[in-house]
Amino acid sequence: MKIGLLGCGTVGSGVLAICDHPQTEAVRQIEVKRILIRQGRSITDPRMTYEIQDIINDEEIDTIIEVMGGTTTAKTYILQALQAKKNVVTANKAVIAENFKQFMETAKNHHVQFRIEASVGGGIPWIENLLRVKRIDEISSISGIFNGTCNFILDTLHENEADFDEILQTAQQLGYAEADPSSDIDGIDTKYKCLISACIAYNCTLQLDQIDTFGIRHITQQDISYFKKRGWTCKLMAMSQNHDSFVSAYVQPVCFPSDALEANVPANFNLTSLRGHTIHDLKFYGQGAGKDSTAHAVIQDCLDIANHQASLNPIVLDNHKLINNSKDIFHFYIRTHLQASFIDEIKQISISHEKSESCYFFITSKITVSDIHAHIRQWQKEDPEIFFAQIVQ
Ligand code: HSE
């Protein structure tokens, strides 16, 4: 199997490391023949080129690995590759989330595979197992910790008093964070992964901008100490349920009791969960971000193609479903500054509140996910650093 590798950053260099120094007979089947790099980067390997056509027009290359990131050029190259009857393996969740149905249809029309294992959960065999479960079960819900960078930040904040920006820098140095880490800490990366997982789980397309999303950018040590006093651990979660005529899907910080499985997921690890009607609850744990684990998932997809193993149960994106988060009801924690004019509004939906020198801390009565996100969007205009989290009791 001859590969054209698009991109040679963190994941691309991990793919090269595995393919150029194979440890197994299986990997020896795979040869990276050409590598596309950005204009302006130095050519340090004879296989490198700046020209996509050197790869698309190479008839020996049957599979493209796209790990360049971004959405515009990546979309063009993926479509060109599929139309040229090359299989495509990608770890690029943003481009998949925006063009999922088009990629699947183009692959089908050209009798090639479009494989995306590395796009969600890093090294965890999550997509493959969603598809396996679906051979037998209807999946009623999915949820999980899908972002290694946020988990690394939250875990470190809970462990010691380190500064948010310093921890984020370490996550970047370790190769966990996106090129623009806003995508991680604002929950956007988790939103892409939520959409991809939910579409596969429920055989449908969903609209990205209907997923209510709130990240961890504004979490402070004040929040963490409030949580610790109550025996809670905060994680960034994606959650989705199939309500048949519609789907709920949202991304938000969640406080778990400290002995919950989710609460004990360390460092850059992910924990992804599904519920099926005979398998019941099934959870997968592994490194969710980083060069080696993500490259491993990419190569697994290539090996499945090399072994002529079509997707175990091809991804079907039959119908479009609306997202509606007004049936999911929880208590929430809210922290805002003392002078906020909306304090009385929060009091009306709260069962308790506390005051420190600079902040109010509220626990709300049970309210819907759509309502809390709508409130927070309003309140953010006056207090951009307001923070909230769902409470699991
Ligand atoms: N930035 C992503 C994360 C990389 O931290 O999870 C893996 O998708």
> To which residue do tokens 């909230």 refer?
388
Return the residue matching tokens 């995508």.
Answer: 183
The reported pLDDT for the residue numbered 311 is: 59
Tokens of 374: 């709508």
- Determine the distance separating the centroid of ligand 1 and the alpha carbon of 289, expressed in angstroms: 5
Query: Hey, which of 10, 90, 149 would you mutate to test ligand 1's pocket, going by the most ligand atoms within 8 Å of its Cβ?
Result: 149
**With a 6 A CB cut-off, is 177 part of the ligand 1 pocket?**
yes
Domain 2-119: state its class: alpha beta
Report whether 207 contacts 195 (CB < 8 A): no
Residue nearest to atom 1 of ligand 1 (CA): 177
Atom of ligand 1 nearest to the CA of 171: 5
Q: Which of 193, 235, 291, 321 is catalytic?
A: 193
Tell me how far the alpha carbon of residue 217 lies from the centroid of ligand 1, in angstroms: 15
Helix H or strand E encompassing 231? none
- DSSP 8-state code for residue 241: E
Look at residue 188 in the predicted model and tell me its pLDDT.
98
Q: What is the pLDDT of residues 232-268, one digit of tens each?
A: 999 999 999 999 899 999 999 999 999 999 999 999 9
What is the predicted pLDDT for the residue at 208?
98
pLDDT at 63: 98
Closest CA to 256 of 392, 138, 378, 366: 392
Say if residues 87 and 305 touch (Cβ distance below 8 Å): yes
Give yes or no for residue 299 CB within 6 A of ligand 1. no
Is 376 in a helix, a strand, or coil?
Answer: helix
User: How wide is the angle at C-alpha 117 spanned by C-alphas 111 and 119, nearest 5°?
Assistant: 110
Angle between helices 221-229 and 148-159 (to 10 degrees): 70
Choose one of 178, 270, 298 to mutate for the ligand 1 pocket test, by most ligand atoms within 8 angstroms of C-beta: 178
Ligand 1 centroid from CA 93, angstroms = 10
Any ligand 1 atom below 6 A from CB of 289? yes
123 lines ligand 1 (CB under 6 A): no
For the question of residue 93 being annotated catalytic, the response is: no
pLDDT of residue 312: 46
Give me the residues of the chain with pLDDT under 50, please.
312
pTM over 0.95: yes
Instruction: Report CA(278)–ligand 1 centroid distance (Å).
Output: 31
Q: What is the pLDDT of residue 315?
A: 84
Helices 93-109 and 188-202, packing angle to 10 deg: 30
Q: Which two tokens stand for residue 5?
A: 């590798």
Q: How far is the CA of 127 from the centre of ligand 1 (A)?
A: 16
**CATH code for residues 329-391:** 3.30.70.920
Q: How does pLDDT run across 163-195, given as a tens digit for each residue? A: 999 999 999 999 999 989 999 999 999 999 999
Domain spans, the chain = 2-119, 329-391
Rounded CA-CA distance 12/41 in Å is: 14
Q: Which of 43, 47, 85, 91 lies closest to 63, judged by CA?
A: 85
Measured from the CB, is residue 148 less than 6 Å from ligand 1?
A: yes
CA of 184 to the centre of ligand 1 (A): 7
Residue nearest atom 4 in ligand 1 by C-alpha distance: 289
Determine the residue type at 357.
E
